[in-house]
Amino acid sequence: MAIFDGYLRERQPSPATIKRWRPVITHLVDYLGHDDPRSISAEDIIGWKEALARQGASGRTIREVYLAAAKVVFAWGVENRKLDTNPAAGVSVRVPKRHRPRGPSFTSAEARTILSASLSRDQGKISREHALARRWIPWMCAYSGARVGEIAQMRGRDIIEAEGIWAMRITPEAGSTKSGQARIVPLHPHLVEQGLLRIAEQAGDGPIFYDPARGRGGSAGNAHYRKVGERLAAWVRDLGVDDPHVQPNHGWRHLYKTLARRAGMEPEVRDAIQGHAPRSIGETYGEWPIDVLARAVNLLPRFNVGGSVNRASPHAGTLTTL
């Protein structure tokens, strides 16, 4: 559909969005039997919605993927005088509220299970990079509240020293960030003590947690670091952290917020550290000095899961008992 191609050229959405939305528009064209957006009516969109439901798509998927994509693309068409009206405007799917028998954070026991397993020397027959991902990504997420993908894409050079403070640079240059903005997150001292700086130094300019040469040609829409996250999620489920009401990767972000509140971290600071959107225009003003962020990060208690490991190995670190 030409209108979709026009939208892509002007708005330049992320490769992941393109990958997700192109089949949506193709499905709509196939359902309609034509690709003329001016001939599409609200009744057509409603019929498409109903057809998707008959094909087994969930109400949430229809609303948040199919209809969302159509609304955005057609809205662009209206803005650019290619359409008189948006045929998808006002069309929705009522989805029952999810029943949540528990919160979305990892429990203490779940976090301990994952972090303890990350220290195991017996990870099976996996690549060095995969072993490093299991060893370090859970800890880095636990102490930063970052998205797993933001850590999985990290290069050695993204571990930096700024104003005497060790930090990680989360940047779309390494892959992507949800907001498209880079941010600096100070490293918790426990990460430094465990030997993360050496791991980053060994990676140099290359990615820490995957080897591009070993992959099967990851594309922008299906990047290597996304595969790292998928493998980690499967591993967490295999560990027995399998409650469907907590996400195997995203649970760290929720847990970080919980622990930050308990530690007395200011809401504005914890949002800046996690890359959450400012809640007001005022919060967009100025910069975040790294020493201010470091003081906040240092408020977080250590995750102590017991045991000790050799600092010379990829499993470097020394831990005390909970």
Assess if residue 140 is contained within a domain.
Answer: yes
What are residue 184's phi and psi, to 5 degrees?
A: -110, 130
Same-domain pairing of 130 and 216: yes
Assess if residue 200 is contained within a domain.
Answer: yes
Query: Is 47 a residue whose pLDDT tops 90?
Result: yes
In tens, the pLDDT along 205-260 reads 999 999 988 765 555 556 888 899 999 999 999 999 999 999 999 999 999 999 99
CA separation, residue 128 to residues 88, 196, 198, 317 (Å): 48, 15, 15, 17
Check: CB of residue 191 under 8 Å from CB of residue 143.
Answer: yes
Same-domain pairing of 192 and 247: yes
Distance CA 275, CA 130 (A): 26
Same-domain pairing of 257 and 124: yes
Same-domain pairing of 53 and 172: no
Assess if residue 312 is contained within a domain.
Answer: no
pLDDT band at 264 (very low <50, low <70, confident <90, very high): very high
pLDDT recorded at residue 122: 84
Assess if residue 221 is contained within a domain.
Answer: yes
pLDDT recorded at residue 46: 97
Give the position of tokens 């201010």: 292
Same-domain pairing of 148 and 238: yes
Assess if residue 303 is contained within a domain.
Answer: no
pLDDT band at 129 (very low <50, low <70, confident <90, very high): very high
Query: Is 170 a residue whose pLDDT tops 90?
Result: yes
Percent of the residues in the chain that have a pLDDT greater than 90, as a whole number:
78
In tens, the pLDDT along 278-297 reads 888 998 899 999 999 999 99
Same-domain pairing of 216 and 170: yes
Check: CB of residue 314 under 8 Å from CB of residue 135.
Answer: yes
Residue 167: which domain range?
A: 108-297
Mean pLDDT of 12-16: 86
As for how many domains the chain has, the answer is 2
Mean pLDDT of 132-136: 97
In tens, the pLDDT along 186-197 reads 999 999 999 999
pLDDT recorded at residue 312: 32
Q: Which residue, 166, 163, 226, 220, is CA-closest to 190?
A: 166
At 271, the amino acid letter reads: D
Of 322 and 67, which is predicted with more confidence? 67
Assess if residue 322 is contained within a domain.
Answer: no
Same-domain pairing of 75 and 112: no
pLDDT recorded at residue 307: 56
Q: Which residue, 113, 98, 137, 104, is CA-closest to 250?
A: 104
Same-domain pairing of 41 and 125: no
Q: How much of the chain is in helix, strand and coil states, percent to nearest 5?
A: 50, 5, 45
DSSP 8-state secondary structure symbol assigned to residue 315: T
Distance CA 264, CA 231 (A): 34
Check: CB of residue 155 under 8 Å from CB of residue 228.
Answer: no
Mean pLDDT of 56-78: 96
Mean pLDDT of 53-74: 96
Same-domain pairing of 164 and 228: yes
Query: Is 318 a residue whose pLDDT tops 70?
Result: no
Mean pLDDT of 74-89: 96
Same-domain pairing of 59 and 112: no
Computed over every residue of the chain, the mean pLDDT equals: 90
